[in-house]
Amino acid sequence: MGTITEVFATSVFSDKVMKERLPADVYAAMKRTIHHAEALDPNYINTVAAAMKDWAISKGCTHFSHWFQPLTASTAEKHDSFLLPKGGMSAIEAFTGKNLLQSEPDASSFPSGGLRGTCNARGYSVWDPTSYAFVKNKCLYIPACFVSYTGEAMDKKIPLLRSVEALSKEAVRLLHLCGKTDVHYVRTTAGPEQEYFLIPYDLYMKRKDLQYTGRTLFGAKPSKGQELDDQYFAAIKPQVKVFMEDCNIELWRLGINATTEHNEAAPCQHELAPIFDTTNISNDTNRLALDVMKTTAQKHGFACLFHEKPFKGINGSGKHNNWSMATDQGENLLNPTSDPYHNTQFLLFLAAAIQSVSDYSELLRVSIATAGNDHRLGALEAPPAILSVYLGDELTAVVNAIADGKKYVSPVKTTMNVGVAAIPELKKDTTDRNRTSPFAFTGNKFEFRMSGASQSISEPNMVLNTIMAETLRKFANRLERAKDFETAARKLIREVFKREKDHIIFNGNGYSKQWQEEAARRGLPNHATTPEAISVYDKPEYVKLFADHAVLTPDELRCRKAVMFDNYVNQIKIEAQTMCEMVIRDILPACFGYSTELSVTDSSAAAEIGVRVNTLTDDLYAATKNLEKALEGLKSAGIGEEKAYYTRDVIRPAMDAVRAPADELETIVSREYWPIPTYGDILYY
């Protein structure tokens, strides 16, 4: 394959390719668009399209497609060929600026939250020139936005791009006050750490729950789980390593800078982490990576699972979102430097981030609210549903010193000797890490740890950018009126730190019961489940926030709220229907068969086991009938929020009641009869 650097981005219409194939002025304009978000001159679009077509055809492409992200759990694409008939059984390869700029998928077939009726079909996908086109499976993929005929954003990309512009506008104002007048644009950056499970594909195909819902709806705890902590960072199985190698090659070809891979805490669980990039590109490449991982896994006899909780009783999967801001001059605005106490600019942006999370913690909670994520938040494997900010010892000392008006003493950087002469001393960090924190400062960035593995990072980053833009706007408004900027800035910083050091800032154990009690005393919101989280989305102050920064119109926000409720209800409805199907068609027949065998066995043990099997079988059947009744009641449970609460309060408990006897039966019924692969079969192949 050549070296990594020779392979990297060979399937991407990259800066290098554009420089080779575009006129100098067009190339310069494209670079300004990608790296500085400047609008591209419309006169250049045909030139870019021609170069993109020739490059794609040279890579073996026969088709092109706008690739966009509707309000679903996946991406969308519609392929058109480069073929243009010319009559007389002749044809040419054609791709114009119009083809590049926009396409027309059917908008009525995607979720719209009531913005579009079934009869209103027209919608547009529009080229996003700030993200790179790429080639995959003989098709040229063009990253695109998706907008309705009446102009509303119907995707996850447009609000994200709007939020980046909103943050940039306010950040530049504040930086100019700090003396950085050469800064013209601020980009947000992201690095999503992707967790996933890899299981044998043949066993995956024997479980309808995994196929239909992405998680196991039944499964008794195996004799060995993750108690010995022997999976985390353990040697990677040879067959998994081969998958990872092939996956990396494909990711590198697509310009996805995957660098870290390792075994995670649970059996069959792994992680892939990239290097930072701009938030928009990181969002696109993460969605693309999920597709590559799935298809590559299948080639190697695996199924790749991204559900937040595929297996009950062992750790689920998240997607830690490492977030920061950088200027067009390359400066990371969350870099504390060697002397954070005296670095007013850093402290202003740190204070803004802290205040943003404090003021808008509910919105961050909404941004990661899904049925799948409800299984893992606060379950000793992910942060709790309560938002707090972790700063670590060093920055907390800075915050406390400024808030209390005391002298700050910088910690002395030390080394650690492990007591072995041959091993050199370790450089010790000045602060520890906290894996239980939802929003943790980790050196020169914040790590938002609540996102679920299957989710797009567009929503949490859109919220982070927007709430940060609002706080920076307030800071700039106040400081622009100040006679002495430095004095006013330090006063503002102190006010924020004094208010938040015993409110949103928390460095302790987020899993503890004591923290839940303490958080309640502090007045921090605790929306434990998805319906209650979503219900606050369109509070008047949040509608105003998104409208003020032109990120979401009131209609677009309410549309997203409606879609989120629908997604929650439909996901659990599918799970419940799948449960009923598996019980009636698979599990009950197995139990009947085993019970019959026991009944003709002349043994007291067989008789005793038979009684237990029959009792549990009756319990399972009764619970299943109750679940069917609950599903029937869903039809008259109202709409939107009402239906979501019904799903949470009636259907979810009914599902738990079905699972309990089924899981116990799995531990009793002979392997010869049990119809689906067990956790032991799947996790210890």
Query: Helix 279-299 crosses helix 458-479 at what angle (to 10 degrees)?
Result: 170
223 belongs to a structural domain: no
Report the percentage of the chain scoring pLDDT > 90: 82
Give the mean pLDDT of 195-204: 98
User: What pLDDT digit, counting tens, does each position of 6-19 carry?
Assistant: 999 999 999 999 99
Query: Would strands 439-441 and 389-390 be described as parallel, antiparallel, or unpaired?
Result: parallel
Residue 141 predicted with pLDDT over 80: yes
Which residues, including other chains, have CB under 8 Å from residue 409's CB and lie 6 or more apart? 397
CATH of residue 63: 3.10.20.70
What mean pLDDT, rounded, does the chain reach?
94
User: What pLDDT digit, counting tens, does each position of 511-566 carry?
Assistant: 999 999 999 999 999 999 999 999 999 999 999 999 999 999 999 999 999 999 99
Question: What string of DSSP letters covers 14-26?
Answer: -HHHHHHHS-HHH
561 belongs to a structural domain: no
Which residues are registered as beta bridge partners of 419? none
Which residues, including other chains, have CB under 8 Å from residue 642's CB and lie 6 or more apart? none
Amino acid (1-letter code) at residue 390: Y
Closest CA to 503 of 427, 389, 617: 389
Both 573 and 448 in one domain: the answer is: no
- The reported pLDDT for the residue numbered 430 is 63
Write out the E strands in 106-257: 123-127, 134-136, 139-148, 186-200
Both 485 and 370 in one domain: the answer is: yes
φ, ψ for residue 318, nearest 5 deg: -120, -175
Give the least confident one: 345-354, 400-409, 652-661: 400-409
Query: What is the C-alpha to C-alpha distance for residues 148 and 425, in angstroms, rounded to an integer?
Result: 60
Query: What is the C-alpha to C-alpha distance for residues 217 and 214, in angstroms, rounded to an integer?
Result: 9
- The reported pLDDT for the residue numbered 313 is 92
Residue 431 predicted with pLDDT over 80: no
Residue 2 predicted with pLDDT over 80: no
Both 166 and 150 in one domain: the answer is: no
Both 63 and 117 in one domain: the answer is: yes
511 belongs to a structural domain: yes
- The reported pLDDT for the residue numbered 473 is 98
405 belongs to a structural domain: yes
User: What pLDDT digit, counting tens, does each position of 235-265 carry?
Assistant: 899 999 999 999 999 999 999 988 888 888 8
Tokens of 489: 């800035």
Residue 423 predicted with pLDDT over 80: no
CATH of residue 647: 1.20.120.1560
Share of the chain residues as helix, strand and coil, in percent rounded to the nearest 5: 50, 15, 35
Contact call for residues 130 and 33 (beta carbons, < 8 A): yes
Residue 89 predicted with pLDDT over 80: no
Q: How many domains does the chain have?
A: 3
- The reported pLDDT for the residue numbered 226 is 82
Q: Which of 155, 171, 205 is the last residue of a domain?
A: 155
578 belongs to a structural domain: yes
User: What pLDDT digit, counting tens, does each position of 42-72 carry?
Assistant: 999 999 999 999 999 999 999 999 999 999 9
Both 284 and 325 in one domain: the answer is: yes
Instruction: Specify the pTM.
Output: 0.95
Query: What is the C-alpha to C-alpha distance for residues 560 and 538, in angstroms, rounded to an integer?
Result: 10
Closest CA to 310 of 207, 393, 181, 239: 207
Both 111 and 167 in one domain: the answer is: no
CB neighbours (10 Å) of residue 328? Answer: 16
Structural domain harbouring 80: 4-155
CATH of residue 186: 3.30.590.10
Both 534 and 617 in one domain: the answer is: no
User: What pLDDT digit, counting tens, does each position of 78-87 carry?
Assistant: 999 999 887 7
Q: Which of 137, 155, 173 is the last residue of a domain?
A: 155
559 belongs to a structural domain: no
Both 386 and 246 in one domain: the answer is: yes
Residue 27 DSSP one-character state: H
Both 258 and 194 in one domain: the answer is: yes
449 belongs to a structural domain: yes
Give the mean pLDDT of 570-588: 98
Q: What is the dihedral of CA 555, 560, 563, 568, to 10 degrees?
A: -140
Query: What is the C-alpha to C-alpha distance for residues 219 and 460, in angstroms, rounded to an integer?
Result: 32
φ, ψ for residue 423, nearest 5 deg: -100, 125
Residue 106 predicted with pLDDT over 80: no
Both 181 and 243 in one domain: the answer is: yes
HSE at residue 664, side-chain half, CA atoms within 13 A, is: 15
Closest CA to 296 of 231, 228, 205, 201: 201
Residue 577 predicted with pLDDT over 90: yes
| Selected residue with higher pLDDT from 414 and 115 | 115
Residue 172 predicted with pLDDT over 90: yes
557 belongs to a structural domain: no
| Selected residue with higher pLDDT from 433 and 275 | 275
Contact call for residues 256 and 250 (beta carbons, < 8 A): no
Kind and range of the H or E run holding 533: helix 530-534
Kind and range of the H or E run holding 269: strand 269-274
Query: What is the C-alpha to C-alpha distance for residues 422 and 420, in angstroms, rounded to an integer?
Result: 6
Contact call for residues 449 and 438 (beta carbons, < 8 A): yes
- The reported pLDDT for the residue numbered 353 is 98
Residue 669 predicted with pLDDT over 80: yes
Q: Is 325 helix (H, G, I), strand (E, B) or coil?
A: strand
Q: Which of 506, 524, 552 is the last residue of a domain?
A: 552
Both 453 and 310 in one domain: the answer is: yes
Both 377 and 447 in one domain: the answer is: yes
- The reported pLDDT for the residue numbered 179 is 96
- The reported pLDDT for the residue numbered 189 is 96
Give the mean pLDDT of 430-445: 84
